[in-house]
Amino acid sequence: MSKYLIILFIIFILLLIGLYEFNNKKYKVFRINNSKYKINNQQGNNLISIILPSYKRPSLLINRTIKSIFNTTKSYNNIELLIGLNDNDDISKNYINNSKYLKKLKQLFNIKIFYYKNISYYTINNILNDLALRSSGKYIYFIDDDMKMLTKNWDVKLLKLKVPKLVIIYFKDINCWGYCHPIISRELFKVLGNKFSYLKLNDAYYLHLAYNAKIGYRIDHIKTRELKCNSKKWKNELKPSRCKTKNKYDNQIKKTDLIYKNMVLNNIKTIINHPYYIKIKSPVYIKEYNYYDI
């Protein structure tokens, strides 16, 4: 009888070890500001990871961007939302924690919020990269905290697309040059080495890749609307106004283009020489940009 008990005990211990190993593979535990979080490491074939950085715009973030996303999403199982707050105070954090709408939404859907607190001089590209590394979707969708989704069932339409594995997808944005907010495939994110190159210029970086490597894919029937910089409704959360900083921003783009040109060209060559590479016939092209001659 004692032998059977010993065998059962050993089996029980082995089952516990197996369960522990399974959970370790499935989840990754990490710390931000001394708080533990668990992130699902299993990448979903039918999951869209929305990367949403924000700086001192809590009302705009929730009442315009987040509400529009969920009001137009057909299935909450199709998306996960990763929000990165980079404020130097607790105003946004307190606003979000007290939001009844967001509390209800968290019960239905996978939302993760990370507080960077601006204590390490985190630049926006570092935040985007950090959030993307924590994501698990088939597609990684970068949006701004003033964007509004206009098209119903956009999630299903995106997941039904038959596109190459290395692709940058753009929805039609009414106010932002025409095409903003890149959606990149998980495979492309891996090929690029999980790194972002531009300081606050991820749009410009991906436009170079989309056009020069011929991997940009446009979807005009899914529409978004970025907020105009002179919006009266949200004027309190749009300071400093993008209108006042546009020339400075454009000059920064040109300067950064020159600094990172060789690195971007190397990334383009890496994409073109990859086994998954398939050229897209009608690449995204925006006339405001001076694309590299390769």
Query: Does residue 100 form part of some domain?
Result: yes
Please name every residue paired with 28 in a beta bridge, in sequence order, or none if there are none. 39
What share of the chain has pLDDT > 70, as a percent?
A: 65
- Beta-strand ranges (E) seen in 128-215 are 139-142, 147-149, 168-173, 183-185
> Please, how many CA atoms are within 13 Å of residue 170, restricted to the half-sphere of its CB?
26
Q: What is the DSSP string of 44-76?
A: -TT-EEEEEEESS-HHHIIIIIIHHHHHH-S-G
Query: Does residue 285 form part of some domain?
Result: no
Q: What number is the average pLDDT over the span 223-250? A: 62
Query: Which sign, positive or negative, has the C-alpha torsion 243, 246, 247, 248?
Result: positive
Q: Which helix (H) or strand (E) holds 275?
A: none
In 192-283, where does DSSP find H-type helix? 202-212, 242-259, 261-272
Give the domain extent around 162.
43-272
Cβ neighbours of residue 163 closer than 8 Å, sequence gap 6 or more: 169, 185, 217, 280
Q: pLDDT tens digits for 249-275?
A: 555 556 656 666 777 788 888 999 999
Query: Does residue 265 form part of some domain?
Result: yes
CA distance 195 to 64: 29
pLDDT at 166 over 80: yes
CA distance 169 to 185: 8
Query: Does residue 289 form part of some domain?
Result: no
Same domain, yes or no, for 144 and 184? yes
Same domain, yes or no, for 21 and 130? no
Query: Does residue 240 form part of some domain?
Result: yes
Same domain, yes or no, for 250 and 138? yes
Same domain, yes or no, for 140 and 168? yes
Kindly report whether the global pTM for this prediction surpasses the value 0.85.
Answer: no
Same domain, yes or no, for 120 and 19? no
- CATH number reported for the structural domain that contains residue 124 in this entry: 3.90.550.10
CA distance 49 to 120: 25
Which two tokens mark 49? 């990871």
Same domain, yes or no, for 16 and 101? no
221 within 8 A of 156, measured Cβ to Cβ: no
Query: Does residue 290 form part of some domain?
Result: no
Same domain, yes or no, for 114 and 199? yes
pLDDT at 1 over 80: no
Cis peptide before 164 (omega within 30 of 0): no
Same domain, yes or no, for 15 and 48? no
Q: pLDDT tens digits for 77-133?
A: 899 999 998 877 788 888 888 888 888 888 878 899 888 876 544 567 778 888 888
Same domain, yes or no, for 141 and 220? yes
Same domain, yes or no, for 184 and 103? yes
| Number of domains the chain is built from | 2
In whole angstroms, how large is the CA radius of gyration of the chain?
21
pLDDT of residue 257: 62
Most distant pair of Cα atoms in the chain: their distance: 84
Same domain, yes or no, for 13 and 48? no
Query: Does residue 294 form part of some domain?
Result: no
Q: Which residue has the higher pLDDT, 11 or 46?
A: 46
Same domain, yes or no, for 180 and 137? yes
Which two tokens mark 12? 């029980």
Q: pLDDT tens digits for 170-199?
A: 998 887 766 778 999 999 988 887 555 443
Query: Does residue 287 form part of some domain?
Result: no
Q: Which residue has the higher pLDDT, 160 or 40?
A: 160
CA distance 263 to 265: 5
